[in-house]
Amino acid sequence: MLLTTIFSGGFGSGKSEIALNYVRFLKQSQSSVILADLDLVNPYFASRDQRDLLEREGIQVAAPFGSLRFSDVPALPVDIIKLLYGKVPMVIDLAGDEAGATVFGSLQEKVKQRGEYEMLLVVNPYRPFAENLPNMREMLNILEQSARTSFTGIVSNPNLIEDTTTDVILEGHALVKEYARSFQLPIRMVTVEQSFVTQVAGKIQEKIFPIRPLLRPDYLKK
Amino acid sequence: MKGNEALAEGAIRAGCRGFFGYPITPSSEIAEYMARELPKVGGVFLQGESEVASINMVYGAAATGKRVMTASSSPGISLKQEGLSYIAKAELPCLIVNISRGGPGLGAIQAGQSDYFQATKGGGHGDYHLIVLAPSSVQEMMDFTMESFELAEKYRIPVMVMADGTMGQMMEPIIMRETVEEIPVKPWALTGCKGREKNVIDTFHSSGEELEKYDQILARKHQVISDSEKRGEAYQTEDAEIVVVAFGLMARIVKKSVDLARKQGIKAGMFRPITLWPFPYEMLDEASHAAQQILSVELNQGQMVEDVKLAVNGRVPVSFYGRISVLPSPEEILQQIVAFVRKEKGSYANGI
């Protein structure tokens, strides 16, 4: 049984939104699930912002809390080691780039010991440093070295936030497929904002995972 | 792109080839982006041992006439003030970025606008001003940064782009601007004086009369900038009975509040200063011609509100609503607008 799902990737690739949506999806079929927010690099727009919502839904949240939440010090959630020894399915939201992946490097042995895991590379090909294969390969290498773990799959997350169109999704996804072929990694899911799901349904072969953005403030919406 | 990334990319596209800084949340992505990208275009990224060191590196590098910059956040900008005063006196063009957080002291790393006084009323010692631009979208983070280098060179003055921490961290799709290919030659720059008279860049005068003469030149320059570079944006102010004034990201939030108020039949409008210095006094005065009330909304304890009062010079009552490092929602500001309108109508009902 898949016990740990790790979302890693570049800054702003969409890891936190995807981790939030994914853990809520898991909760529908599991009695207990954990979201571990290991974004120690930057506390802005972090998945722990939705702690109240998740806890109301019965999802356990492991995240720096209280005064540490915005303390700008790299503090791991106090209970993370204890939780890794347990067998409750866990979704891990890593911070962007190598600094975030390094945090996982120190925990990777325990993750691997606890059982089956997926280490997923989240790719939004419209982000800086993810727009072509050489840059993406550089990012993949840095992340794998820092996390001391190889990726097991890719999450294709092609979007331009409010400027997203069906074409934006399809063209972006085509690029991610090229990356996946080159890295010889399977695409585990294509994340699409929920209003686009029916429009792209017949046009994407891989599993589509609908996203309801939770971290974007209303005042930024057009 | 993230705001910080768009700003850094804009600087490179504008021809910036020197970045000197010291990382601090929430501006660090600018340094990270420059560290990665500047060497690729033949530029120099240098992390100084401190903010004081890095602003003095900007001072030296700007003297060569190259486009150079630094970026920091509030406490780091405080450390740079001495160097900034020197750069302003030496009349050197450069870009200073403040991705501001809450203060005073170490404050908090969440968004803040409490550096308004520091940015617009001096900051360091002596009589000087910076041109201060306040973007309110990720697109403007790129556009204003690129424009800053032009303004800085046009007037030989340091230009500051000031945006709060959330602006630096938030993501929006943007249109990339064309790379600037030709950067003007500066006859005043220190480039080696072989075959020409030597240039001297200095900030010291041994006689009071001489200092006064040069400071008057600075003052005249400030006047010219003040006369020609004021910028602001008016939104729904034509018939607005209440005008809400806000800058940067707060202006985005206030725009939503104005839309909500209009849906309730309240004649609300918004004015956003784009240049914080020079402050667009006349534009605000004009935008509030129909107003019975002005409300200044800031992420501080009331700083820009002083300039707002100067703009209307007692013609309209001015109130203030502030939060510290907590972004108010559009609904929260709407409540303030509604409260004012109710008070006004109540007064009319009482025959006042």
Express each pLDDT in A93-119 by its tens digit: 987 777 778 888 989 999 999 999 999
Question: Does residue B104 have a cis bond before it (omega within 30 degrees)?
Answer: yes
Q: Which residues of A touch B108 (CB under 8 A)?
A: 70
Q: Taking CA atoms, what residue in A is nearest to B138?
A: A220
For chain B, give the mean pLDDT: 95
**Interchain proximity A44–B9, CB inside 8 Å:** no
How far apart CA B167 and CA B150 sit, in angstroms, is: 23
How much of chain B exceeds pLDDT 90, in percent? 95
Q: Would you state the pLDDT for residue A65?
A: 67
Q: What is the CA radius of gyration of chain B?
A: 21
Q: Would you state the pLDDT for residue B227?
A: 98
How far apart CA B217 and CA A92 sit, in angstroms, is: 60
Q: Per-residue DSSP letters for A72-115? A: -S-PPPTTHHHHHHS-S-EEEEEPSHHHHHHHHHTTHHHHHHHS
User: What domains, with CATH codes, occur in chain B?
Assistant: 3-228 (3.40.50.970), 233-349 (3.40.50.920)
Whether A134 contacts chain B with CB within 8 A = no
**Interchain proximity A70–B2, CB inside 8 Å:** no
Whether B311 contacts chain A with CB within 8 A = no
φ/ψ of B236, rounded to 5, equals: 55, 35
Q: Would you state the pLDDT for residue A100?
A: 79
Whether A52 contacts chain B with CB within 8 A = no
**Interchain proximity A161–B173, CB inside 8 Å:** yes
Counting every residue, how long is chain B? 352
pLDDT mean over A115-126: 97
Q: Would you state the pLDDT for residue B234?
A: 98
Whether A220 contacts chain B with CB within 8 A = yes
Q: Which residues of A touch B170 (CB under 8 A)?
A: 44-45, 220
Residue range B104-155, pLDDT digits in tens = 999 988 999 999 999 999 899 999 999 999 999 999 999 999 999 999 999 9
**Interchain proximity B109–A217, CB inside 8 Å:** no
**Interchain proximity B330–A218, CB inside 8 Å:** yes
Q: Which of B99, B34, B100 is nearest to B68 (CA)?
A: B34
Dihedral angle of Cα B133, B135, B136, B137, to the nearest 10 degrees? 170
Whether B349 has a pLDDT exceeding 50, the answer reads no
Q: In this structure, what token pair is assigned to residue B279?
A: 């402050």
Band (pLDDT 50/70/90 cuts) for residue A218 is confident
Between the two ends of chain B, the Cα-to-Cα distance in Å is 53
Q: Would you state the pLDDT for residue B168?
A: 95
Q: Are B107 and B223 in contact (CB under 8 A)?
A: no
Band (pLDDT 50/70/90 cuts) for residue A66 is low
Between the two ends of chain A, the Cα-to-Cα distance in Å is 42
Q: In this structure, what token pair is assigned to residue B193?
A: 């004086």
3-state SS class at B40: helix
**Interchain proximity B252–A220, CB inside 8 Å:** yes
Residue A85 CA: distances (Å) to CA of A12, A78, A89, B105, B270? 30, 13, 11, 41, 55
How far apart CA A66 and CA A51 sit, in angstroms, is: 12
φ/ψ of A192, rounded to 5, equals: -135, 135
Whether A162 contacts chain B with CB within 8 A = yes
Residue where the block lists tokens 């120690």? A40
Residue type, A143: L
**Interchain proximity A219–B329, CB inside 8 Å:** yes
Whether B350 has a pLDDT exceeding 50, the answer reads no
The distance of B63 to chain A (nearest Cα, Å) reads: 32
How much of chain A exceeds pLDDT 70, in percent? 96
Residue range B145-187, pLDDT digits in tens = 999 999 999 999 999 999 999 999 999 999 999 999 999 999 9
Q: Which residues of A touch B173 (CB under 8 A)?
A: 126, 160-163
Residues in CB range of A29: below 8 A, 6 or more apart: none
Band (pLDDT 50/70/90 cuts) for residue B352 is very low
Band (pLDDT 50/70/90 cuts) for residue A47 is confident
DSSP A40: -
Whether B29 contacts chain A with CB within 8 A = yes
- Among A127-136, A155-164, B208-217, B341-350, name the one with the lowest average pLDDT: B341-350
Residue range B261-319, pLDDT digits in tens = 999 999 999 999 999 999 999 999 999 999 999 999 999 999 999 999 999 999 999 99
pLDDT mean over A6-34: 94
Q: Which of A91, A78, A74, A76 is nearest to A27 (CA)?
A: A91
Q: Which residues of B touch A129 (CB under 8 A)?
A: 36
Residue range B17-43, pLDDT digits in tens = 999 999 999 999 999 999 999 999 999
Band (pLDDT 50/70/90 cuts) for residue A64 is confident
Whether B201 has a pLDDT exceeding 60, the answer reads yes
**Interchain proximity B173–A128, CB inside 8 Å:** no
Q: Would you state the pLDDT for residue B304?
A: 98
How far apart CA A51 and CA A17 sit, in angstroms, is: 13
Residue where the block lists tokens 């290919």? B181
Q: Which residues of B touch A126 (CB under 8 A)?
A: 173
Q: Which residues of A touch B25 (CB under 8 A)?
A: 42, 72
Whether B325 has a pLDDT exceeding 70, the answer reads yes
How far apart CA A205 and CA B74 sit, in angstroms, is: 49
Whether B258 has a pLDDT exceeding 80, the answer reads yes
Residue where the block lists tokens 């002005």? B294
Q: Would you state the pLDDT for residue B345?
A: 57
Output the CATH code of domain A2-217: 3.40.50.300
The distance of B214 to chain A (nearest Cα, Å) reads: 44
Whether A160 contacts chain B with CB within 8 A = yes
**Interchain proximity A219–B252, CB inside 8 Å:** yes
Q: What is the CA radius of gyration of chain A?
A: 16
Whether A11 contacts chain B with CB within 8 A = yes
Residues in CB range of A22: below 8 A, 6 or more apart: A5, A7, A91, A209
**Can you name the residues that pair with B327 across neighbouring β-strands?**
none
Count of C-beta atoms within a 10 Å radius of residue B309: 16
- Parallel, antiparallel, or unpaired: how do β-strands A90-94 and A2-9 relate? parallel
Interface A-B, measured as beta-carbon pairs within 8 A, has a size of: 48
Whether B224 has a pLDDT exceeding 60, the answer reads yes
Q: Would you state the pLDDT for residue B351?
A: 31
Q: In this structure, what token pair is assigned to residue A165?
A: 């169109």
The distance of A187 to chain B (nearest Cα, Å) reads: 24
How far apart CA B267 and CA B238 sit, in angstroms, is: 9
Q: Which of B206, B138, B147, B164 is nearest to A163 (CA)?
A: B138
3-state SS class at A48: helix
Dihedral angle of Cα B326, B327, B329, B333, to the nearest 10 degrees? 90
**Interchain proximity A44–B166, CB inside 8 Å:** yes
Q: Would you state the pLDDT for residue A69?
A: 64
Band (pLDDT 50/70/90 cuts) for residue A68 is low
Q: Would you state the pLDDT for residue A98?
A: 79
Whether B223 contacts chain A with CB within 8 A = no
Q: Would you state the pLDDT for residue B348?
A: 40
Whether A186 contacts chain B with CB within 8 A = no
